[in-house]
Amino acid sequence: MLEWWSYRPRDFLLFSESVYWRLFELANDALWPWPLVALALGTGVPALAWSRLSAAGRFIAAILATALIVTGWAFLWRHYRPINWVVTYVAPLFALEALLLLWLGAVRGKLSFRTDLRWDVLVGWALFAYALVLHPLTALVTGRPLRGAEAFAVAPDPTVVATLGLLATAQPGAVRAWLLPLPVLWCLGSGATLSTLGTWEAWLPLGGAALTLVAVHLPRQAKAHSAGGPRQERVPERAPRTPCKRPSGKRN
């Protein structure tokens, strides 16, 4: 019997890299034409954000929640869970994130998404565009058919990276802080799994999480540093002295 220390991380995975990528073909076929509908919905997100509609944040939160629910059920639970027992505990977290988005964003309207030209906002929108358009094309780069592309609102990695990108553009506050941890944890777990499979795509979710954390925390630290910097004490100005005039009375 082999000793426990002779095992490698890959020995604990019950599937190979080819089996993993095959899951996306099965999911896309089962959900067709949903991937195209999801792409259209995702394309409408920037239009909503720039439209300045009062309910734009609610609609965007609802789109994200829908994407997470479909991904959690149609891909994670139905296709990924049978070959990876850990997903049994992860898929409900997608539902939890979706419920938080629905309640805090769609119902209560606590989420608003910025469109200014600050660098952290631009990073967020770049991440969203990457997840929506570029990430699915990695299938072609690696020689896989486009039929097995990781599509937004079907595959977990682009869906989560798109969520992180939009959260980076959201107004800072407690609501965003509540919504960030679960997507970041998924990126770490997915990166570890893909790294164990030996594929370079492991860096994609890890890079998405890292860029989001930089975009979220650096502006806050810079603001706190500028607010808490040394204050220069203002020295009160002295009033100019006026020469004293002696009384001009004559001495007797």
Check whether 249 has a pLDDT greater than 60. no
Q: Is residue 237 assigned to a domain? A: no
Q: Rounded distance, CA 89 to CA 135, Å? A: 26
| pLDDT score recorded for residue 10 | 56
User: For residue 215, which phi and psi values (nearest 5 degrees)?
Assistant: -65, -30
Q: Which of 90-94, 208-212, 225-229 has the lowest mean pLDDT?
A: 225-229
Residues 6 or more apart in contact with residue 206 via CB below 8 angstroms: 187, 188, 191
Q: Provide the strand spans (E) within the chain.
A: none
What is the reported pLDDT for 121? 96
**Overall domain count for the chain:** 1
Q: How much is the average pLDDT of 219-224?
A: 62
**Is 242 among the domain residues?**
no
8 domain-assigned: no
- Give the residue-averaged pLDDT of 219-231: 59
Rank 34-38, 52-56, 115-119 by mean pLDDT and report only the highest. Answer: 34-38
Give 111-137 pLDDT, tens digit per residue: 999 999 999 999 999 999 999 999 999
Domain membership flag for residue 250 = no
**50 is a domain residue:** yes
Q: Tokens representing 240?
A: 């100019």
> Is 5 part of any domain?
no
* Confidence (pLDDT) at 1: 47
Structure token pair of residue 149: 């592309």
Residue 248 inside a domain? The answer is no
How far apart are alpha carbons 118 and 115 in whole angstroms? Answer: 9
Per-residue pLDDT averaged across 208-220, rounded?
Answer: 91
Look up the pTM and report it.
Answer: 0.85
252 has pLDDT over 50: no
Q: Which residues does residue 170 pair with via DSSP β-bridges, in sequence order?
A: 113
Residue 154 lies inside a defined structural domain of this protein: yes
Q: Which domain holds residue 25?
A: 14-220
Query: Of all residues in the chain, what percent carry a pLDDT higher than 90?
Result: 79
61-109: pLDDT as tens digits? 999 999 999 999 999 999 999 999 999 999 999 999 999 999 999 999 9
